[in-house]
Structure 1
Amino acid sequence: MSDPTASAPQSTIGRARFGGGTAALVLVSLLIGLAISSGLGGLYAWIGETGEAWMRFAIVAVVTLPVSVMLPWALLVDRSSLKGSIERPEDSIESRWYAKAAEGTMHDVLITVGIGAALFSFTQLQVNTGILLIVLGTMVMADFGVRYQLAKRADA
């Protein structure tokens, strides 16, 4: 049996998963993106305090529109219809590096949170929760980046 998507033409925009072509994908992505951006703009116009409401709406709607359009596109595009897409991205070497780094980082997070919880409990130290989470998040991202580079270097 042949795969119907294997012989289909590929483009930089792709085609919709739900059976439509490129035009359907673009139209649906734009409509959903406009709805998301308008909702965010309306929410900010309603809760914002500075300036006029229509200006707040317009600024937020315009600024969030590109991301609001790309999100539904990413969810609705048929990957096999994109030029240069690989067939099974989960089998790539980068995916293995990512998995190795994520596994090691998870172990580090468990150890760090456990030791931190014990230290804060025993010493009765009080810290700003927001600052603590920012520091912890930054440490996790740095740990993941270092582990990813080490996995990449080990396979090179």
Structure 2
Amino acid sequence: MTDDAPTRWGRVRFGNGTVPAMWLAAPAGAVLAAGLGVGAALAGAAGPRPLIGGAAVALVSFAGLTGLVWAFLVDRRTLRGATERPEESVESVWFDAAARGAFTDTVTFAGLALAALAVTGADVPGIGALTATVLVALVSVSVRYLLARRRG
């Protein structure tokens, strides 16, 4: 296997060379997890036994932090089975179309709601208005995406 051959966990490119991504992600994740454990112990968030609690926080957060570091470092081109240009996938096209349509739906809904409130003089709390607007956007994107997926 050559140095540039795709691998299961990918590689990180440095200049002309590459390094396995997990060689960097695991130690960095361990350092971040240890820092989080120490921070929890010093902040009093690690329970009545700060040493044990801090170690537990570090242990529990290690895998997630390692994955996060890996996601930031890995070069997608070195991953076995990765889509070459994910932004050009059919799902991406469906989502883009759904988002464009949902934007129009949301602006239309907000305009009609504003007109109705102006005519009636009703007083709606801001949190309610914003919640309704976000829900309209989420439902619109979801429905439009599912319809685009069904159409193929």
TM-score, scaled to structure 2: 0.71
User: In the alignment, which residue of structure 2 is the partner of 1:93?
Assistant: 90
User: In the alignment, which residue of structure 1 is the partner of 2:10?
Assistant: 14
Deviation at 1:96, TM superposition (A): 0.3
Segments of 5+ residues of structure 1 without an aligned counterpart are: none
With 42-51 and 52-61 compared, the bigger mean Cα shift is at 42-51
Structure 1: distance between partners of 2:24 and 2:101: 40
Structure 2: distance between partners of 1:136 and 1:94: 25
Deviation at 1:150, TM superposition (A): 1.2
Classify the secondary structure of the residue corresponding to 2:8: coil
Deviation at 1:110, TM superposition (A): 4.0
Q: Whose strand proportion is higher, 1 or 2? A: 2
1:55–1:145 Cα change, 3 Å: farther
Number of residue pairs the alignment of both structures matches: 145
Deviation at 1:136, TM superposition (A): 6.2
User: Does the CA contact (< 8 Å) of 2:46 and 2:57 recur in 1?
Assistant: no
Structure 1: distance between partners of 2:109 and 2:38: 41
Segments of 5+ residues of structure 2 without an aligned counterpart are: none
Structure 1: distance between partners of 2:111 and 2:39: 39
Identical aligned residues as a percent: 32
Instruction: Please list the CA deviations of residues 58-108 of structure 1 after superposition, one character each: whole Å capped at 9, or x if unmatched.
Output: 232222222211112112111111111122111111110121122233334
User: In the alignment, which residue of structure 2 is the partner of 1:42?
Assistant: 38
Structure 1: distance between partners of 2:132 and 2:56: 31
Structure 1: distance between partners of 2:35 and 2:79: 30
1:52–1:137 Cα change, 3 Å: farther
Which aligned pairs between 1:66-77 and structure 2 lie closer than 5 A?
66-77=63-74
The two structures, once aligned, show a CA RMSD in angstroms of 3.3
Q: Which has the larger radius of gyration?
A: 2
Classify the secondary structure of the residue corresponding to 2:13: coil
Structure 1: distance between partners of 2:32 and 2:80: 28
Structure 2: distance between partners of 1:135 and 1:149: 21
Structure 1: distance between partners of 2:40 and 2:129: 28
Structure 2: distance between partners of 1:135 and 1:97: 24
TM-score, scaled to structure 1: 0.69
> What code does the residue aligned with 1:20 have?
T
